[in-house]
Structure 1
Amino acid sequence: MTKRRIDPVTGTETTGHQWDGIEELNNPLPRWWLWTFYATILFSVIYVILYPAWPLASRATEGVLGWTARNDVAREIAEVDASQAQMREALVTTDLSALDRNEPLLAFATNAGAAVFRTHCSQCHGSGAAGAPGYPNLLDDEWLWGGMIEDIAYTVRHGIRNEADPEARWSQMPGFGDMLSRDEIATLVAHVQALPGGQDPLAGPGGALFESNCAACHGADARGERTMGAPNLTDAIWLYGNSDEQLTDVIANGPFGVMPPWGGRLREAEVRAVAAYVHGLGGGEAPVADGTE
């Protein structure tokens, strides 16, 4: 360690540090800097006393003011809820089929439903609602259980094939792996793949197999049955894919997709809002005209 000494030019004591022959002078800190430093220490002590500061095992010190950011957020949410209470009440009491006749309410429901969708639905159906293997595309006009806004709301409220809600929509495709031979399944795979191209469901090598094993749910015309959630096999929309391997797996093992019920986790206004949002994505169906206003 270099011995401290008095710099002969400035008359100031050195710190004893030296770099490349240059010695560091031990000048005192400016007063304004010291007072600023002391002020930050005082501010920190006061802050620790007034506000949450030190993390503990399961919480943090609360501070004498009792302030938390969570309380601020909760207050802001409550304020927004209060400002929207009238619109939410109107949404709950309005017939969903007539929602499109009230443009302000429809706009509110669509915007609110978009937020609900991003929070609770996008994980399975995708942020753009285009779906994924096993999760339906909500942008097309093909609906397993019906695409009218009331149908969508019911599906959201009660879910599909879950055991949590006794009113959940329920159907099950059996696995034919133990009932049909591998050759028969391969024949059915080829037959089903040809249906979107115009193949007669009851004709050809797979027609008899289709009639005896598939027509009961999918219909003799293969156009599906919504009351059972049986998809239309004559379009080009495939929930689990249409490769030989994918169709073989579906026929042999039977898919069993489950959607949880959201009626117990979302408010009724939120259920209706997300139904309105999904219905408006481009594939929602309009009520069948009955000649009345």
Structure 2
Amino acid sequence: MAEKHIDDVSGVETTGHEWDGIRELNNPMPRWWVWTFYVTILWAVGYAIAYPAIPMLTSATKGYLGYSTRAELQQDLDQAKAGQAKFHEMIATKTVEEIDADATLREFAIAGGASAFKNNCAPCHGSGASGGPGFPNLNDDDWLWGGDLQSIQTTIAHGIRFDADTDTHVSEMPAFGETLDATQTNQVAAYVWGLTNTPSDSALAEAGKQIFLDNCAACHGEDAKGKVEMGAPNLADAIWLKAKGEEAIARQVASPKHGVMPAWAGRLGDTTVKELTVFVHSLGGGK
């Protein structure tokens, strides 16, 4: 029988395994740890028998207890939907003005509208509805097509320049690059910028005033405060949607960009559109 080798440093017997001059100490795991490990194996086997656990080709084992977290979640969702049904029925039969006047319905509609907004509107208007370049901020009091409840509902339901909806809002700013030369374009851009800021050249801005009255006032108004019925933005409130600065305004005048908003009535249904309307109106900018 070979003599057991004892490690000189630790005084522990080695297993006899050696690699590159390194010997393995014979330090077995404590028995309590080993038995605990065996218990976890038994627990895992029992769990696999009691609950859905083993994947099959098209499904999984159902488990002896038949418990399913998905089924439990679905049950909770069904209960929640049943509780919401009466509110949805009331919203479906009431106008947005009536919903907004009812404190309970208004609270429910705002909650539902906030959820629908995050799923459908946030990609363009932002999660906080603050908008971005080319996408309106829905928190302020600057509205292209009106900020009262009925106007907001119409805009959400039918969209803007959405060809698939015959009732969509339609208005387009002409490309004045075809009728105004570069000097005139720069003059009117300086005038518009000068309504809320200091223009680069006051003489240029002064010359642009008449050009504005001759070409732009029909839609934006002589005071440049816009016309809601035409979707023409207010140019005198320092809120810029498509262009900011004289050069950007000049480009917009010469070759304007036009945004498109989908019509949501067909996608979301009348009830969700009403909830979105009340939610958007509640953000603070609704009239």
Q: Do Structure 1 and Structure 2 share a fold, with TM-score over 0.5?
A: yes
Kept after mapping to 2: 8 A contact 1:188/1:206: yes
Aligned pairs for 1:134-145 within 5 A: 134-145=134-145
**Stretches of structure 1 lacking an aligned partner (at least 5 in a row):** 286-293
Aligned pairs for 1:125-136 within 5 A: 125-136=125-136
Task: Quote the residue 2:228 is aligned against.
Answer: 226
Q: In structure 1, how many angstroms separate the alpha carbons of the residues matched to 2:176 and 2:209? A: 16
Q: Structure 1, residues 60-119: CA drift from partner, whole Å, max 9, x if none?
A: 643346976555444433321111111111112122123333111111111222222222
Kept after mapping to 2: 8 A contact 1:217/1:224: yes
Range 232-241 or range 42-51, more displaced: 42-51
Task: Quote the residue 1:77 is aligned against.
Answer: 77
1:180 to 2:183 alignment: no
Report the CA distance between 1:18 and its aligned residue. 6.9
Distance 1:28 1:107, change over 3 A: closer
TM score, norm. by length of structure 1: 0.78
Task: Quote the residue 1:291 is aligned against.
Answer: none
Q: In structure 1, how many angstroms separate the alpha carbons of the residues matched to 2:207 and 2:62? A: 82
Report the CA distance between 1:284 and its aligned residue. 0.9
Other structure's SS at 2:165 match: coil
Task: Quote the residue 1:166 is aligned against.
Answer: 166
1:100 to 2:100 alignment: yes
Q: Structure 1, residues 257-293: CA drift from partner, whole Å, max 9, x if none?
A: 11122222223222111211111111111xxxxxxxx
Task: Quote the residue 1:216 is aligned against.
Answer: 218
- Extract structure 1 runs of 4+ deviating beyond 4 A: 17-23, 26-29, 32-50, 52-56, 65-72
Distance 1:28 1:246, change over 3 A: closer
Kept after mapping to 1: 8 A contact 2:243/2:252: no
Q: In structure 2, how many angstroms separate the alpha carbons of the residues matched to 1:28 and 1:224? A: 82
Q: Structure 1, residues 24-66: CA drift from partner, whole Å, max 9, x if none?
A: 2264873x6556545555665676676365497xxx6433469
1:24 to 2:29 alignment: no
Aligned pairs for 1:86-125 within 5 A: 86-125=86-125
Other structure's SS at 2:157 match: helix
Distance 1:36 1:70, change over 3 A: same
Kept after mapping to 2: 8 A contact 1:4/1:14: no
Other structure's SS at 2:80 match: helix
Range 13-22 or range 236-245, more displaced: 13-22
Q: In structure 1, how many angstroms separate the alpha carbons of the residues matched to 2:28 and 2:210? A: 101
1:15 to 2:40 alignment: no
Range 236-245 or range 152-161, more displaced: 236-245
Task: Quote the residue 1:62 is aligned against.
Answer: 60
Q: In structure 1, how many angstroms separate the alpha carbons of the residues matched to 2:220 and 2:22? A: 92
Q: In structure 1, how many angstroms separate the alpha carbons of the residues matched to 2:95 and 2:164? A: 27
Aligned residues, how many? 273
Q: In structure 1, how many angstroms separate the alpha carbons of the residues matched to 2:184 and 2:250? A: 10
Q: In structure 1, how many angstroms separate the alpha carbons of the residues matched to 2:86 and 2:75? A: 18
Range 116-125 or range 19-28, more displaced: 19-28
